[in-house]
Structure 1
């Protein structure tokens, strides 16, 4: 069930998280963590150096957690372990060093051998980012393992993601996890919708960059 305002945080996810760090869920009623995620999202998009208007990014940032919220999505924040909860609350912006998100996509129609074609629940992994000052501790892998665990726990049949061709280290990580490269995009922007099929538009609407690479994993 979706978390309600005032509920306790879900348990922290700990899939091989390096000592000194933890991964926590971000809720809509937690403005400090929302602000920390927004800062990391902005650092991520600034590092990409491309215009994400085709993803309706401005609305996404303003409406966090949006479709990354429960029950079908997840917004995860990687934070340094501090001494106590009060210290974390007071220094969350400083403590937050990474993030990743998961959101639902329209179901795909899959084929299972000789069985009837069936609808497959599909989710998209977005905004995987670790602050450069915190890199070198396998934190990106810990975040990626955590978001895959989230997708499995929510009953998704497959996950997809996109990246840029020059992001070779990230692509190697995805391929080690069993992701396969897709020949075609799993979404289409030119028709006026974002990756969730929402209607967007305006003069800044554009197609994804030519260097975009698309991946998919069956869970």
Structure 2
């Protein structure tokens, strides 16, 4: 069986429901339920609008015309003007292992540089091992404490990368 081919494009308003379903479907897979997680973030329901703001970008991945994941960057809430956050990078199980996550990461970090950010921060949690391997392969290094004021207090692992 040959690997699925995928396309990556900027998010559009028509993608909001699909991305909300993906995020809310994937997070419980890793125990990310309840307060302190993006699953309860109201932004999840209007991703296109949220990432249409200045210095923000979000990309969706499609396989056979269906949105199967995405990720992006935006200014770090409560952080300094030079730091962005890699945000809401989630993929359905069938989209994992295709190389799409690495490509979304590359596009997102490229946009962050274009926007003038000097650092990229991200939060994750224990158990998201494949994601952490991708972050580390992409040049992120663990840090000891969270940055900014993301509202995602349920996360227990933090990374930072110089751009």
Shared fold (TM-score, shorter chain, > 0.5): yes
- Select which of 199, 208, 213 maps to 2:153: 208
For residue 157 of structure 2, give the secondary structure of its aligned residue in structure 1.
Answer: strand
- Select which of 55, 61, 76 maps to 1:72: 55
Q: How many residues are paired up?
A: 159
Structure 1 stretches of at least 4 aligned residues deviating more than 6 Å after TM superposition: none
* TM-score in terms of structure 1 length: 0.63
Q: Which has the higher helix share?
A: 2
Deviation at 1:37, TM superposition (A): 1.5
Given that 1:36 and 1:96 are in contact with CA atoms closer than 8 Å, whether structure 2 keeps it comes out as yes
Q: Does residue 217 of the first structure (1) align with residue 161 of the second (2)?
A: yes
- Select which of 3, 14, 24 maps to 2:9: 24
For residue 71 of structure 1, give the secondary structure of its aligned residue in structure 2.
Answer: coil
Given that 1:121 and 1:158 are in contact with CA atoms closer than 8 Å, whether structure 2 keeps it comes out as yes
Q: Does residue 195 of the first structure (1) align with residue 150 of the second (2)?
A: yes
Unaligned runs of 5+ residues in structure 1 are 1-17, 83-87, 89-94, 109-119, 188-193, 197-206
Deviation at 1:97, TM superposition (A): 1.3
Given that 1:55 and 1:195 are in contact with CA atoms closer than 8 Å, whether structure 2 keeps it comes out as no
What residue in structure 2 maps to residue 39 of structure 1? 21
For residue 160 of structure 2, give the secondary structure of its aligned residue in structure 1.
Answer: strand
* Worse-matched range after superposition: 151-160 or 165-174: 165-174
- Map of 1:1-219 to 2, 5 A cutoff? 20-27=5-12, 30=13, 32-55=14-37, 57-80=40-63, 88=65, 95-105=66-76, 106-108=78-80, 120-187=81-148, 194-195=149-150, 208-209=153-154, 212-219=156-163
Distance 1:51 1:136, change over 3 A: closer
Cα deviations by residue, 1:86-143 (Å, 9 ceiling, x for unpaired): xx5xxxxxx11111122212443xxxxxxxxxxx511111221221123332222112
Cα deviations by residue, 1:17-76 (Å, 9 ceiling, x for unpaired): x9832111114xx2x212222122222223232235335734222343354323211121
Unaligned runs of 5+ residues in structure 2 are none
Whose radius of gyration is greater, 1 or 2? 1
Given that 2:16 and 2:47 are in contact with CA atoms closer than 8 Å, whether structure 1 keeps it comes out as yes
